[in-house]
Amino acid sequence: MILYTCVLGFLTLVYTLVLWIFRKGLRVTPSLSMANEPMVSVIVAARNEEKNIANCLTAILNQSYPKGKLEILVMDDRSTDRTAAIVAELAHSDGRVRLIRINERASHLSPKKYAIDLGIRRARGEIIFTTDADCKPGPEWISEMIKYFTPSVGLVAGYNPYQNSGSPNSLFNKMLALDYFAMACVAAASAGLDYPISCSGGNLAYRRQLYLEMGGFHKHSRWVSGDDDFFLERMRETSGWRITYATDSRTFVPTAPPESIGSFVQQRIRYASKCAHYSFPVTAALIGIYFLNLSILAGMIATIWKPALWPIWSTAFILKSFFEHRFLARGQIVFQTRHSFSVFLATCLAHPIYLVAMGLLGRFTNFKWKGETHAARIPAHSEYQSKTAGFELR
């Protein structure tokens, strides 16, 4: 019990200290008025998105940004539904939309990375924006994100709040929204401390030339996930460009939440599948967080047989929850949003179970994504090696 107390106490102390430091980095990031409006290419990687793609493209076409400086490349990644037909119809009516159909999987890049990479190499824009087919950006998304591109900034990350759909008032959906908000707060805080650690590909912008100079996704080409985080990490470590986080509400890009508990689990397994492969400081922090929650969960269970453990794990749990609440309270000010305290309490209770389970599943199981089952990485020697990934440009 002494060893358990010492380990749990140390992990709790480090975790709360990190949250206190991160709270200092969580601040409003001002944007600046740009002297010019560069050409922008928005890349949407889509697979079987017939339900969402029209709304997404309509929202992008309705941007306040100058029409002559905007193009949209839809990378149709082997869709078997009407995605391509819907995009082709929109492209026929508005020349800013370009449809590129991908017919096979590539041997050198995971599917989404290949779609984005191909789009970037076909793009004409100076600034690349990426978003997902189930996202619906507001009309000032591009014009406001562009303002963050001062001469020293190479990448701007943004927030993807869950939009109201399905049963928005259910406790489950509210907990999902809070969990996603917490990830955005961590991303914004780390950027504010000049050590950005994460971002979302659903709301991301970077310089095209920078991407090409860095060799694109080459270093992490086999990882199925990570077209956003791994690219940001490599840029942070090697490029010398600044990375900033947009906190203006006009830059937010609402995204559809998982449709069910099952799809949520698959999404989180996908997220967790790459957690042990970040840079050492980030991986060490994630491992520490995992064992903190594992220790709290183990204490909860062991209390049934050893009641003396109750004050030990409960003290750690209360301290952890208190500092998380203060951190997220600061985040609500920065992002100008609100999440109820009751939802926070429910999420706190579920968090150790959820995090421990997802960590294990992400490490040892495959996940389903876009109708396909994936391992964390595509095999080094696979059936894709003998194929040249084909595409059609329309």
Tens digits of per-residue pLDDT, 209-228? Answer: 999 998 887 766 666 666 78
For range 328-357, the mean pLDDT: 93
Give me 105's structure tokens.
């999987």
Predicted confidence band of residue 382 (pLDDT cuts 50, 70, 90): very low
pLDDT for 384 beyond 80: no
pLDDT of res. 364: 77
Structure tokens belonging to residue 161: 């709040």
DSSP class of residue 205 equals: E
CA distance 201 to 185: 16
User: What's the confidence (pLDDT) of residue 289?
Assistant: 94
pLDDT digits (tens, 9 = 90+) for 122-146: 999 999 999 999 999 999 999 999 9
Q: Spell out the alpha helix ranges (H) of 129-279.
A: 141-146, 171-192, 208-213, 229-238, 261-272
- Tell me: pLDDT of 389 over 60: no
Q: What is the pLDDT, as a whole number, of residue 365?
A: 81
Which of the two residues, 145 and 393, has the higher pLDDT score? 145
CA–CA dist 62, 139 (Å, integer): 6
- To the nearest whole number, what is the mean pLDDT of the chain? 88
Nearest to 223 by CA among 346, 309, 91, 111: 111
Task: State how far the Cα of 82 lies from the Cα of 51, in Å rounded to an integer.
Answer: 9
pLDDT of 377: 59
Q: Does domain 33-271 have CATH number 3.40.50.10310?
A: no
pLDDT value, residue 265? 81
Q: How far apart, in Å, do the first and last CA atoms of the chain sit? A: 66
Averaged over 249-258, what is the pLDDT?
Answer: 91
Comparing 56 with 111, the larger pLDDT belongs to 56
Q: Please check the confidence at residue 379 and state whether its pLDDT lies above 80.
A: no
Strand pairing of 242-245 and 127-132? unpaired
pLDDT at 221: 65
Tens of pLDDT, residues 265-293 = 888 887 777 776 788 888 899 999 999 99
Q: What average pLDDT does range 110-117 have in this prediction?
A: 86
pLDDT of residue 391 exceeding 60, the answer is: no
Cβ atoms within 10 Å, residue 304: 8
Least confident interval from 33-37, 266-270, 318-322, 331-335: 33-37
pLDDT exceeds 50 at position 351: yes
What would you report as the CA-atom Rg of the chain, rounded to the nearest whole angstrom?
21
What pLDDT, in 10s, does the model give residues 81-101?
999 999 999 999 999 999 999
pLDDT digits (tens, 9 = 90+) for 163-201: 765 556 788 889 989 999 999 999 999 999 999 999 999
Q: How confident is the model at residue 319 (pLDDT cuts 50, 70, 90)?
A: very high
How many CA atoms are closer than 13 Å to the CA of 224, on its beta-carbon side? 21
Structural domain spans, the chain: 2-24+279-365, 33-271
Query: How many CA within 13 A on the CB side of residue 347?
Result: 24
Quick one: CA torsion of 29, 128, 206, 217, rounded to 10 degrees?
A: 140
More confident residue, 11 or 309: 11
% residues pLDDT > 70 (the chain): 89
Confidence of residue 28 (pLDDT cuts 50, 70, 90): confident
**pLDDT score of 383:** 37
pLDDT over threshold 70, residue 332: yes
Residues 222, 381 contacting (CB under 8 angstroms):
no
Look at residue 387 and tell me whether its pLDDT is greater than 50: no
The model scores a pTM over 0.75: yes
